[in-house]
Structure 1
Amino acid sequence: MEKQRLISSYDEVNDTFVGKIDGQNGYCADYSISEGIFLSIDKNNIPTSVLVNNASKVFNISKKVLENSNVEIDINCDKICLYFTMFIENLQICSIRCKNKYGIPNISFKIDSNY
């Protein structure tokens, strides 16, 4: 599993969560992996950022919880499925499995704000 440092922010007014891998700039493609959750990847099909619109509704949690900076995102992918799991303060707030129709190769990433 590759481990990267996560820089996350939450905009309470717009209810938008953004998580970006430290040191990564730009993206090649942006995929909607679930209702309101977008995954950006670079030209090598490696995740660079996550955007969640209407985050409190998508995750069904309070805006106060989303303001916490202790965030970890696990992204795993094989030829068939993409798995996305998000934790705040070690509490799992989201777990998604979707078909890998994006052409993302076999990857295993842990993006952690405490790395």
Structure 2
Amino acid sequence: MKKERLISSYDELNDTFVGKIDGKNGYSANYCISEGIFLNMDKNNMPTSVLVDKASEVFNVSKKCLESANVQIGIICDGDCLSFKMFVEDSNICSLRCKNSFGIPNLNFLVDCNI
């Protein structure tokens, strides 16, 4: 499992969550992996950031919850399916699995603000 440091921010006014991998800049591809959840990848198909529009609605949590700095995101892809999990304060607020129609290679990735 590859581990990276996460820098997260939440804009309460626009209800937008952004989780950026420390040291990564920009992206080559942007994939909508679920309603409101966008995964940005670099030219090597490695994650660079996650953007969630209408985050409190998408995750069905309070805006206060999303202001926490204690966030972990797990991204696993076996070539056929992509799994995305997000934890805030050790509570699983999102767990989804979708068909990998994006061409993302096998990966097992954890981004954590506490690394």
Q: Output the amino acid matched with 1:104.
A: I
Instruction: Tell me the secondary structure at the aligned position of residue 85 of structure 1.
Output: strand
Partner of 2:71: 71
Segments of 4+ in structure 1 off by > 3 A?
Answer: none
Structure 1's unaligned 5+ residue stretches are none
RMSD: 0.3
- Partners of 2:44 and 2:15 in 1: how far apart? 30
Instruction: Give the number of aligned pairs.
Output: 115
The structural deviation recorded for 1:79 is 1.4
TM-score when normalising by structure 1 = 0.99
Q: Hey, what does 2:91 align to over in structure 1?
A: 91
Matched to 2:101, the amino acid is K
Return the alpha-carbon distance in structure 2 between the equivalents of residues 106 and 39 of structure 1.
Answer: 15
Helix, strand or coil at the partner of 1:27: coil
Q: Percent identity?
A: 68
- Describe the superposition over 1:41-74 as per-residue Cα deviations: whole angstroms up to 9, x where unpaired: 0000000000000000000000000000000000
- Unaligned segments of structure 2, at least 5 residues: none
Q: TM-score, normalised by structure 2?
A: 0.99
Name the counterpart of 1:56: 56
Give the aligned partner of residue 100 of structure 2: 100
